[in-house]
Structure formats: structure tokens, C-alpha cells
Amino acid sequence: MSYDGRFRVWRGDADGGDLADFTVEVNEGEVVLDIIHRLQATQAPDLAVRWNCKAGKCGSCSAEINGRPRLMCMTRMSTFEEGETVTVTPLRAFPVIRDLVTDVSFNYEKARAVPAFAPPADLAPGDYRMQQVDVERSQEFRKCIECFLCQDVCHVIRDHEDNKQAYAGPRFLMRIAELDMHPLDQADRRQAAQHEHGLGLCNITKCCTEVCPEHIKITDNALIPLKERVVDHSYDPLVWLGSKIRRR
């Protein structure tokens, strides 16, 4: 069963652009990325789109579909009514390169700013030991495919370009939380999260969690616990005293 679907796709580059209307065949079982590929094959061979696995695992085909950040390969056409116009636009929080392709290098800069796992200097790799509960706690965060939909949707940078300097975004605050929860990590992640990566700017709107294609509970399991750890460290007098004594 097929039908002619109506689509609006953003065409343009860094200097500007506009929405273009297309009618494209839609077949049963297809996803939005199938339609974009058919559009390239039949009507717009120069349409720029980034994709790779078409299985929801590479995180490449991120876009906004009817205004919502989503993976094109994981958005079934059956989600929409046959007569509905489906609008596909590039991620809004990042600069457009061309058509549906954006420059996501902001995210790589933020990734580089998070120091790597820092085990005790005298611990040989073969001597690492962790409780299963600690392994499981961070396992959820490691499902991240770096599609950057959470980075795109978070209003702290989506609506405030000038916050980008000060704010790492949910993906990288989650990475800091993962490292802070690691029992062998020695780095001071909490002060860095608060003062260098803008944890305080997150006001727990949970939009990041809503768009995560891996269903990671970014806010509840990473960001809120990290905020609690920061508060404990900074304001609990017993924790403060304990840290001073331990440092002696």
C-alpha cells in the first residue's frame, strides 16, 4: 500500500534558505529517512543529508521532524496521517552547513573539555575492581549514541547562543556524572561540573530525556544526582569537614 505524501524540507546553507515543498511516494513500513533518500533519488539529487547505519545506532541522521528533534531513521511514516504535511528541518541549535546537515563541532569541543577517566596512579589496569552495582549504574549512560538530539533540544543553548561558552549540555554533563559515579575516578568532577561546565544552568526541564532515542533517563539518573552531589560537596558541613580531614 502506498500513497503520495506531502513534505516540506529545508533547503539552504549558512547564508540562508527556505522550506521547499515536495510530493514523494510513501510505502508501508517506511521511515522518514527512506523518504529523504527517495527525494534525493528522484527530485533533489543535491539534497545534503547526513546518515550512516539506518538502524538508530550511529546517531548521524538527527533532524527536526515537525519541529521535534528526532532520528530520521527511527521515525516511522505511520506516525503521521496520510494527508499530513511532514516538515523536515536541520537541528536548530547548531549552524547549518547545507540543507539538513549541521556543524556539530560544538559537541566535540565540549567532549574534549571533559578530562578522561582518572584512576589512582598506582593502580595497574588488571587490578581494577568494581561492585556490580557501580557497573550497572553507569551502563545506562554508555548507551548514548551521540546523536546530539538532547544537546539540540536543551533550551539553555537552543534559545541562548551566548550560553554555549559556559554550558556543556546534557550529553556531556551526563558524561561527567558517569565519571563522578565511578568508584575509581580520582578527578574533582563536581567543582568542574558546576564552575566550568555550567551545571547550574540546567533547570531540569527534562526535554533532553524526552528526545533521547536510547531512552536514557538523562535528567533523573545523571543530572539530578550530579546536582545533589555538588550540593552535598559544597554545602553539607559534615561532608565539607570530612573532605578537609581526609586531605590531611
Q: What does the binding site for ligand F3S look like in residue numbers (CB under 6 A)? A: 153-154, 156, 170, 202-208, 219, 223
CA pair distance 99, 86, nearest whole angstrom: 16
- List all residues 6 or more positions away from 207 whose beta carbon is below 8 Å from its beta carbon: 150, 153, 154, 155
Distance of closest approach, residue 231 Cβ to ligand F3S, in angstroms: 16
Closest to ligand F3S by CB, 61 or 226: 226
Distance of closest approach, residue 241 Cβ to ligand F3S, in angstroms: 31
- List all residues 6 or more positions away from 22 whose beta carbon is below 8 Å from its beta carbon: 6, 7, 8, 9, 39, 43, 44
What is the torsion angle, in degrees rounded to the nearest 10, for the CA atoms of residue 59, residue 65, residue 67 and residue 68? -50
Distance of closest approach, residue 172 Cβ to ligand F3S, in angstroms: 10
Closest to ligand F3S by CB, 38 or 70: 70
The three three-digit cell numbers of residue 221, written as one number: 539518573
- Answer whether 103's CB lies under 8 Å from 94's CB: yes
Closest to ligand F3S by CB, 176 or 223: 223
- List all residues 6 or more positions away from 132 whose beta carbon is below 8 Å from its beta carbon: none
The three three-digit cell numbers of residue 40, written as one number: 534525493
Which residue is it, cell 550529553? 171
Closest to ligand F3S by CB, 153 or 230: 153
Distance of closest approach, residue 208 Cβ to ligand F3S, in angstroms: 3
Distance of closest approach, residue 125 Cβ to ligand F3S, in angstroms: 33
Closest to ligand F3S by CB, 88 or 153: 153
